[in-house]
Structure 1
Amino acid sequence: MKTVSMIVPCFNEQESVPIYFKAITKVFEDPQMKDYTLELWFIDDGSSDATLNELKTLNAQHPETAHYISFSRNFGKESAILAGLEAATGEIVGLMDVDLQDPPELLPKMLRELHTGEYDAIGTRRVGREGEPAFRSFLSNMFYKLINKISKVEIVPNARDYRVMTRKVVNAVLNLPERNRFSKGIFSWVGFKTKYLDFENRERVAGNTSWSIWQLFEYSLEAIIDFSTAPLAIASFIGIFACVVSVIAVIFIIIRTLFFGATTAGWPSLAAIILFIGGIQLFCLGILGNYVGRIYSESKHRPVYVVSEKK
């Protein structure tokens, strides 16, 4: 019998936790899952509601199945995923959201595909975004198109964190020591044979999403910086372009002075050009600063998360 360790990040999910537990245990009670035993690792990412109390209750009632790790504060979903990967003991390790937007009933098929030995990981992706704001869907599609053009690592569009992996995939991921993590990119970077199963978009079973559009934008920016140096190349290109335009402008001014004499006109346009060049410089410095900031963050070797409780 193989142990399947499911990692479940939680942030202010007090309503979803008991519903999720009932749904996932029901799946493993099915006769077709008789060769698997379930191990749950709930990661409380510094919740401010009663999520931790719900996890303690589950652990008290089902100590062999339901385990939890509680962070000292909110460190983010990527830190929760890493903590779960480090804690999981199963031969097979899975990852899914607690809000049941990842369908638990898809797990038997995922495990059957993994059991064939043809694949090292089985991932999932959404084939529709019904119920999601159109603007958010547009930004998501643009992100995947952009990152796949500028990154050498292919990020599967609309891929979810929901997946199951063999132990060797998990060990490969844990061998990557970086503090700034983008799991979808990391799972792609380590390689291994992966098959993706499609499913229709689902609404949350309870509560509201904690991801705002601004947070998603920041997350996307981190992903681009973590898996591509293209922004640095863009900054260099803009700098070269600005220099060429400046040289052309100087030549134009010299020719105009030789043929038409000196003039004091044009100060507004000159001020506009100076502001334009200054804006380009600040933009390029901002790009460079993001990379330097990540180098600084990595060099401090601070832990990715701090555990308050674990059981």
Structure 2
Amino acid sequence: MPARSVLTVVVPCFNESAGLLDFHERLSAVMSAIGESWDVLYVNDGSRDRTLPLIEALTVRDPHAGLLNLSRNFGKEIALTAGLDHASATGAVIVIDADLQDPPEVIPSLVAQWRQGFEMVYAQRAARSGDSWTKRTTAHGFYLLMQRLGGRVLLPRDTGDFRLIGRRALDALLQLREHHRFMKGLFAWVGFPSVAVSYDRAARTAGESSWNYWSLWNLAIEGITAFTVVPLKIATYAGLLVALFALLFGGQLVIRTMMFGNHVPGYPSLMAVVLFLGGVQLMTLGVIGEYLGRIFNETKHRPLYLVERYSAAGLLERYGAAGPPQPNAGQEV
């Protein structure tokens, strides 16, 4: 195996062929100027376009580039975990997306803070070019909600996956193996000395984002249920309030009947009460079901992902175009 690098850049990729070559060119220029040995690991998460052939071509022509090809699409959170599992850096790992919304030119600032002794250096968005008002507003609301609900885990606002992780923090992070993964929360959970680096997030240069509002909504649900049981408490308190309301309502009916006689209640008011109680019950069952489903998935103990092919940076330079043997093909992790 080639010598391990000080810095490894992990890049999860799903249908990124439109801008992958431009990204690699900018990343190479930035990393070469830092002055530390480095490599980049591209994690192909079941892309349906030409992303995989492009990464294979990069590994042939650039000894810094490596490939981790998953057996199918597992989702970004799992793909990022796979990349961190296979990162060989002795110093730190840098996580960045390939869409160039997170500029590689910010990486030297992250490395500078790491050299000052910080184990977690996260890039915090000062501006979000290319995002709609709705997306900016909902993102701000989500981070605000997570800061209120997170308890002892403080999720930094306006912060994505773009960050540098020191080796100590990475080794701690790799011990967390839950299937329902909200990586932003896991980054915050491990702690260690952390600092923010402010930057302006650019608009996407090529291709289309695979994150629609439905995907972002599901990611928000993952984040909330992974780090707090507040929804369960809300369901309990809602049940108590409805029970108290029903008790007071029933009491006033009894008193009114004793004082004024029994008047036939109206159908609309009856239906309103029935639908309200039914809605509260279904909502409570839904909250319980979300947590129960996550428990069910964890008890199956399936591997987080399967590796179809793994070529570390520099292997093709050493073994030639045929590459080394593939002992990790079909590996369960």
**TM-score, normalisation: structure 2:** 0.89
CA distance in 1 between counterparts of 2:129 and 2:41 reads 30
User: What is the correspondence of 1:180-259 to structure 2 with a 5 Å cutoff?
Assistant: 180-259=180-259
Q: Any residues of structure 2 matched to 1:25-64 within 5 Å, and which?
A: 25-30=28-33, 33-34=34-35, 36-62=36-62, 64=63
Provide Cα deviations, 1:210-230, integer angstroms capped at 9, x if missing partner: 100111111011101101111
Q: Deviations over 1:22-68 (max 9, x none)?
A: 111111232xx22x112111111111111011111111212x31111
Are residues 1:306 and 2:309 paired? no
Q: Which amino acid aligns with 1:115?
A: R
Report the AA paired with residue 93 of structure 2: V
Counterpart code for 1:165: I
The letter for the 1-side match of 2:11 is V
Question: In the aligned structure 2, how far is the partner of 1:229 from the partner of 1:127?
Answer: 31
Equivalent position SS for 2:197: strand
- What is the CA distance between 1:308 and its match in structure 2? 2.1
Deviation by residue 1:97-119 (Cα, 9 ceiling, x = unmatched): 111111111212211221122x1
Q: Does 1:94 align with 2:94?
A: yes
Q: Distance in 1 between matches of 2:55 and 2:130?
A: 29
In 1, distance between residues paired with 2:112 and 2:214?
38
Q: Partner amino acid for 1:25?
A: S
Alignment partners' CA distance in 1, 2:160 and 2:5: 24
**Percent identity between the two aligned chains:** 35
Deviates more, 1:40-49 or 1:100-109: 100-109
Could you give the per-residue CA deviations for residues 63-121 of structure 1, whole angstroms, max 9, x where no partner exists? x311111222211110011001100000211100111111111212211221122x112
Paired residue for 2:24?
21
Q: Give the alignment's Cα RMSD to 1 decimal.
A: 1.3
Q: Distance in 1 between matches of 2:113 and 2:5?
A: 15
Q: How does 1:19-168 map onto structure 2 within 5 Å?
A: 19-30=22-33, 33-34=34-35, 36-62=36-62, 64-91=63-90, 92-117=92-117, 119-152=118-151, 153-168=153-168
Shift, 1:309, TM fit: 2.2
The alpha-carbon deviation at position 196 of structure 1 amounts to: 0.7
Aligned AA for 2:57? T
Alpha-carbon deviation of 1:145? 0.9
Task: Work out the CA distance in 1 between the residues paired with 2:25 and 2:130.
Answer: 25
TM-superposed CA distance for 1:2, in Å, is 5.2
Letter in 1 for 2:132: P
Q: For residue 71 of structure 1, what is the amino acid of its counterpart? A: L
Stretches of structure 1 that go unaligned for 5 or more consecutive residues are none
1:125 aligned counterpart, secondary structure: strand
Structure 1 partner of 2:288: 288
1:189 alignment partner AA: W
Task: Tell me, in whole angstroms, the C-alpha distance in 2 between the residues paired with 1:172 and 1:65.
Answer: 26
Alignment length, in residue pairs? 306
After TM superposition, the structure 1 stretch with the greater mean CA deviation from structure 2, 150-159 or 108-117, is 108-117
CA distance in 1, matches of 2:129, 2:197: 18
When the two structures are superposed, what TM-score results if normalisation uses the length of structure 1? 0.95
Alpha-carbon distance between aligned partners in 1 of 2:246 and 2:183, rounded to the nearest angstrom: 43
Match of 1:170 in 2: 170
Letter in 1 for 2:261: G
After superposition, the C-alpha distances for 1:150-178 in whole angstroms (9 at most, x for unaligned) are: 11111111112111121111110001121
